[in-house]
Amino acid sequence: MMMRLMSWTALIFGCLYFLLPLIGMAEFSLKMRRGVYSLDAYAVVLADPAFQATFGYSVLMALMTIIFGVLLVVPTAYWVRLKLPGARPYIEFITLLPLVIPAIVIVFGYIRMYNTSSWLPLTGSVTGTNILLMMGYATLALPYMYRSVDTGLRTIDVGTLTEAAQSLGAGWFTILAKIILPNVLVAVLSGAFLTFAIVIGEFTMAALLDRPAFGPYMQLLGANRAYEPPALAVIAFAITWACMGLIQLVTRFSKHERARA
Amino acid sequence: MAYLDLTHLVKTFGTNRVVKDFSLGIDKGEFVSLLGPSGCGKTTVLRMVAGFEGPSSGNIVIDGQNVTSLRPNQRRIGMVFQAYALFPNLTVAQNVGFGLKVAGMGREETEARVTEMLRLIGLPEKGPSWPFQLSGGQQQRVALARALAPSPRVLLLDEPLSALDAKVRVSLRNEIRAIQRDLGITTIFVTHDQEEALSISDRVVVMNGGVAEQVGTPFQVYNQPSTRFVANFVGTLNTFEAEVEAPATGDLRLGGVPLSLGRPLSAAKGAKIGLALRPEAVHLGRAPGREVVLPATVREVHFMGSVIRIKADAAGTTVSLDTFNRPDTPPPAVGQASEISLSAQDIILLA
């Protein structure tokens, strides 16, 4: 009885710890009009053309980063598992590097290497800078993307499935697209979700490469306004939760995944 | 020239020679088993035929085409794995149709072929099911259908029954054999289970240490083993030591009892030679036509239903012998003094 009471207390304390700041923030975001609760702050934020532009840009960048990340990470993790199991610790070490190297160091490195007077002047054009930013985002997301894909690959017998597909006449592309990727789709999605969250909130790279992303916009708004930033934060939370719901939905729909869980 | 020709195959992993000069010709429609203990190189030979391993030297020719340097997906072979290896993200029908789709076959044609294959393996309604909804035996049958659907030139079976329970193992092996006969597909079957190999094959290749010790029909391999290893590995064997009395006529002395093999021996007079006998060639008590009689003591009796396996001490060694159950004769008691009889012509001479 005592134990039950204590665990309930702990749970309630935990919930309050996480929920109170959120509730406070949400409550504050509704107080733009004096004396009554209103959605004025949200209306202002959503109507701001800068919000729409930066958010749209960041969503697009996130999608590009996810596609690029999947194309980079899935074949790599697959190949390492299949042919170079000895290299796994090194690959894991490399994929963890972005966690310890600050984004600002990476972006300065980029600017030094790919500036207009370099051998590959990516910063010289808007498209080039966008590509560079996407590469940077992919680097930041690499630890999460690689880990989740690698964990997904662990749940299937990569070697035998590959050989089975090969004996049926399939080449590498078919094997990756039809067998490996669908089987690690949920893992790829959770990696993709993390990538999305990272890209939407990222400030340093976008600011230093001078791209109109959502991160610098949030920073600008936070520095100049009172009620809009919390509204923006609530919107960001809503998007996050929607993403998580989407992952659940996809998991629910892929029938073969249900059996494994 | 055989349909599938393996000539002087050698495979080395580092300094370890797993397969040493392995040659074998397999005729079209033949069912050949590679039998041997783990590490004997049988799976490596199969994987070289499939193309998953490249031979260090030697050639693999299928139907006159040298496939040694071809990649696995260019060889047109079908393979069934021990772990089934069905694609978990595809339904049964999609699994079976995978090879056809890869080959670029049209939708209607594919569907017809998938239906045909599912009927062949006796699972016509399982097309829309997911692999995880099937039992092990059903999954392996689907794997067989998947391998056979694109009409491969050679079917390779890598211990396909090892993961199944005993009853399914027997029924599925009969089914595999029936389907193989039906389609007339050239098949290599890898197993470490001698009963499986003997019961299912046209020919058995007994492998040990990377070489083929003996190649022959199951009857030959069992009854005329060419080496001591084959004799020991295939079936149960009683071994005796006998003293040579007269090499020219094959007269021996076994546990004090004279017997004649009726064929000349290469061993000198007075030398010890190894003899072997299958348990079913030894009879408890005297019987007509079994002229060699040895005194024996019953040590163990295992009643297994239709067969009774008895272990008895005779001629200074423990002898296993099998008798059929007869409702009117209870098995002998342990410790009972008795006699065993055998026929000299059943004796296998060990090299």
A181-195 pLDDT per residue, tens: 988 888 888 888 888
Position A229 scores a pLDDT of 86
Which domain covers residue A70, as residue numbers? 36-256
Whether A85 is covered by a domain: the verdict is yes
Query: What is this structure's pTM?
Result: 0.82
In 3D, which of B204, B207, B208 has the Cα closest to residue B189?
B204
In 3D, which of B147, B121, B150 has the Cα closest to residue B134?
B121
Which among B230, B261, B295 is the end of a domain?
A: B230
Which domain covers residue B142, as residue numbers? 4-230
Whether B89 sits inside 8 A of A169 (CB atoms) is no
CATH number (domain holding residue B186): 3.40.50.300
Q: Report the SS3 class of residue B190.
A: strand
Who among A157, A169, A171 is closest to B99 (CB)? A169
In 3D, which of B68, B19, B13 has the Cα closest to residue B42?
B19
**Lowest mean pLDDT across A31-45, A143-157, B13-27:** A31-45
Give the distance from residue A183's alpha carbon to the nearest chain B alpha carbon, in angstroms: 6
Whether A157 sits inside 8 A of B85 (CB atoms) is yes
Which among B214, B230, B246 is the end of a domain?
A: B230
Whether A168 sits inside 8 A of B147 (CB atoms) is yes
Q: How far apart are CA A17 and CA A8, in angstroms?
A: 14
Whether A161 is covered by a domain: the verdict is yes
Position A261 scores a pLDDT of 41
Q: Does B67 share its domain with B107? A: yes
Q: What residues are paired with B211 via a beta bridge? A: B208
Nearest CA in chain B to A177: B89
Position A257 scores a pLDDT of 54
Nearest CA in chain A to B131: A256
Q: How far apart are CA A195 and CA A144, in angstroms?
A: 8
Backbone angles phi, psi at A34, to 5 degrees: -65, 130
DSSP string, B124-188: TT-TTS-GGGS-HHHHHHHHHHHHHTT--SEEEEESTTTTS-HHHHHHHHHHHHHHHHHHT-EEE
Please check whether residue A128 is in contact with residue A121, taking contact to mean a CB–CB distance below 8 angstroms.
Answer: yes
Percent of residues in chain A assigned helix, strand, coil, to nearest 5: 85, 0, 15
Does position A59 have pLDDT exceeding 70, yes or no?
A: yes
Q: Does B222 share its domain with B271? A: no
Q: Does B63 share its domain with B204? A: yes
Who among A161, A169, A182 is closest to B150 (CB)? A169
Whether A160 sits inside 8 A of B133 (CB atoms) is no
Q: Does B104 share its domain with B84? A: yes
Whether B73 sits inside 8 A of A259 (CB atoms) is no
Nearest CA in chain B to A161: B85
Contacts of A34 (CB under 8 A, 6+ apart): none
B164-185 pLDDT per residue, tens: 888 888 999 999 999 999 999 9
Q: Which residues does chain B have within 8 Å of residue A255's beta carbon, measured at their own beta carbons?
A: 130
Q: Does B121 share its domain with B265? A: no
Which among B230, B248, B282 is the end of a domain?
A: B230
Q: Does B256 share its domain with B216? A: no
Distance of CA B303 to the CA centre of its chain: 26
Who among A164, A183, A185 is closest to B85 (CB)? A164
State how many domains chain B has.
2
Backbone angles phi, psi at A98, to 5 degrees: -60, -20
Mean pLDDT of the A166-184 span:
91
Q: Does B213 share its domain with B337? A: no
Q: Which pairs from B173-178 meet CB under 8 Å and 24+ separation?
A: B173/B199, B173/B200, B175/B121, B175/B122, B175/B141, B176/B144, B176/B200, B177/B31
Give the distance from residue A169's alpha carbon to the nearest chain B alpha carbon, in angstroms: 4
A to B CB pairs, distance under 8 Å: 79
Whether A168 sits inside 8 A of B132 (CB atoms) is no
Please check whether residue A74 is in contact with residue A184, taking contact to mean a CB–CB distance below 8 angstroms.
Answer: yes
Q: How far apart are CA A2 and CA B319, in angstroms?
A: 70
Q: What residues are paired with B32 via a beta bridge? A: B188, B203
CATH number (domain holding residue B311): 2.40.50.100
State how many domains chain A has.
1
Q: How far apart are CA A105 and CA A102, in angstroms?
A: 5
Position A255 scores a pLDDT of 57
β B154-158/B4-13 pair status: unpaired
CATH number (domain holding residue A243): 1.10.3720.10
